[in-house]
Chain A
């Protein structure tokens, strides 16, 4: 019951404050556009006059690409067959989480990812700050002033999370697969080794989820409990998560399922929809942008629901008691 209520309440605060979604969406799109423009120009120069453009209008010319990719540098390396499918490019992104090869799309993409992480450390202050506020009245200026207010704490939390994940991918990740290889080196069954590796990836996924949940609650506790120490909040969040492990994980998994549902929808739309005209392409782009907006909305639902779940266990903290003096 708790989870259901948390999601319901979470959704309602997301709706009440829906205007902050466009702010984050604009940040996302601007960053992406900044790199999409050079990609457009390099593609336009390469295939704009070429015969293969006919095939690139309706499908993907593998032969051109495999020649192109041989000497590809920088952003050129990110132009690949996976972009043609409905799901493949999205799988590529999730694959990064499991392999930790974050620079595989080049340094530029890596830096943009990092930028987005810290940019959102800023926005998240506004989002959670407003969600935790009993008045819940959204205004852009309030959003930005709350973002600014919490920034040094949220930045510290984001930095800690990134460093922790760095250690995770450098130490724990290889250790898990090192153990798997050690145990399975003499196994004769190829399938058994395969499933053991799959289990390895599953454990990796659990680890990521674990760290992610702790940091989500750390931010919530920081705002709700009005704490000064981000480190203390991580500790409190950890304790909270462990004490209510079924609820915290359960809530997260349900929301992940919702995310997968969204992914399936956009994946199938992209799979079925191979636009050959500008009009159809624009239509597909609208679908894609709606997906990104929903994805951001869903992320905020995570924050809202987790906040509500936390509140359920801390009834005395219906709202932030001692609201800091914020304009």
Chain B
């Protein structure tokens, strides 16, 4: 992947926002990859969780937004409990999701969910999903 790194992105508001919402220090990550090694959803991700935090460190918001990763993450917290640097990556993922959601952008269109699916799913699937994937 080709990336252009500049001081502009490195010191951008984006990086500060991610750190503020997630309450994590992004440079703590030293790219060991343990998070991605254990991520149960990584088979479906465009970019791996460790690549996402690397992009976040560098302030490359567009590359993160283009990838499906943060919307595939299931908030299972496996990465967070295993990170040798104590980075709570699940919280970084959440901060990245919120930066988009707070612009009122939804990942699921609730009116489009078929009636049968709504009847089948338990409440916690819907409440949980709407809270993580919609504004």
Q: Please determine whether chains A and B interact with each other in the same assembly.
A: no
Q: Which B residues are within 8 Å of any A CB, using their own CB?
A: none
Q: Which A residues are within 8 Å of any B CB, using their own CB?
A: none
